[in-house]
Homo-oligomer: A and B are copies of this chain.
């Protein structure tokens, strides 16, 4: 039996308030910087444009030369190698302004007559001509610390001549699978009675990556407190340790007592279903989450505890995508517990997935998302509109 169960919100708060965003940084090439978070403001190293340039196709002119020009009384300009004094120079968008030019006459406002051009519009200086630094000025802050780099940001930085950016390191997430009955995945032999394939760490590692972390997995640790202790000690250079399995209250559930012995066991047993055996501790300043071995319970604990922790450590603020949906059937929840209810989605209708029996693996495959039913709520009724968080 668990001595005392913690509320889910309380457990999450205890975990988050003891942890913080990763402050270490590294320099990455821009071509590999997508999704990374800037750890400093970036000031432009150049003026952009670096030279006065045409913003339209047409003729570079001295604006004063076009004074009074209209379609009915055009001004004649001579095509030449420099502008001013009644001369103009053909230009294309992006070209450097030729000597003497301070504006560009759009093609649409020009009628070519042999070696001359009839300007049919009067221009102000800098019309269709970009000044030096007009887009981005030298020294201007273009992106700020904490900004997560998207493709156009990377293109912008590269346009200004940069090749790298200093970003926050990804939080290192150590994943320790435990259980004497476990066989590593991808071994193509049949299971012997009592064996199971260890696949939770595969799911946990992938989520750690999706949520902004840098995961690494240890080998399977058998149910032995010394070996679990050793595995934790070897991974205290990580920012966060996720232990899979061994967290219930059976004879061989050694993770929580080891946490208690090596550091602080903050929570063992949470009022969340599935996911009740989750334990949370701190060892040498590092958060450790001991996740239940049942896959759906592990998934619930990952979403409720690991996701907020990893994204926070990774300087990210994005939440799972949420869609509203009408319930096709009642969600039965466990009063006093935060209930992680799986639903399938189709055309705005959410169908709760029944999970009687041992239908554990199969229920996840059929789930498109989950509905969190709060402790104080007694289920959700058929026909109610609920917020479904999509499983990433």
Question: Which A residues are closer than 8 A to B by beta carbons?
Answer: 1, 29-31, 34, 46, 48-51, 53, 55, 57, 92-96, 108, 130, 134-136, 140, 142-143, 150-156, 158-161, 163, 181, 185-186, 188, 190-191, 193-194, 196-197, 199-200, 202-204, 206-207, 210, 248, 250-252, 293, 295, 299, 321, 357-362, 364-365, 391-392
Contacts and interface: CB of A to CB of B under 8 A. Distances in A.
Given A94-B194, A154-B203, 4 more contacts: A93-B293, A142-B362, A156-B364, A321-B321
A151 B207 contact: yes
Contacts of A153: 364-365
A202 B248 CA distance: 49
Contact of A93 (B200, B202, B250): B250
A248 B93 CA distance: 10
A361 B155 CA distance: 9
25 contacts: A30-B202, A50-B193, A93-B248, A94-B181, A94-B194, A94-B196, A95-B181, A95-B194, A96-B193, A130-B358, A135-B357, A135-B358, A142-B362, A150-B392, A151-B392, A152-B295, A152-B299, A152-B365, A154-B202, A154-B206, A155-B199, A156-B362, A158-B185, A159-B196, A321-B321
Tallying the copies of this chain within the complex gives: 2
5 closest Cβ pairs, A-B complex: A96-B193, A151-B206, A155-B203, A155-B199, A130-B358
Most buried by B among A186, A188, A200, A252: A186
A202 B358 contact: no
B92 A250 contact: yes
B159 A361 contact: yes
Contacts of A50: 190-191, 193
B185 A391 contact: no
A31 B154 contact: no
B185 A360 contact: no
A175 to B, nearest CB: 12
A359 B135 contact: yes
Contact of A202 (B96, B155, B360): B155
A103 to B, nearest CB: 14
Contacts of A152: 203, 295, 299, 364-365, 391
Given A153-B365, A181-B95, A358-B49, A186 B199 contact: no
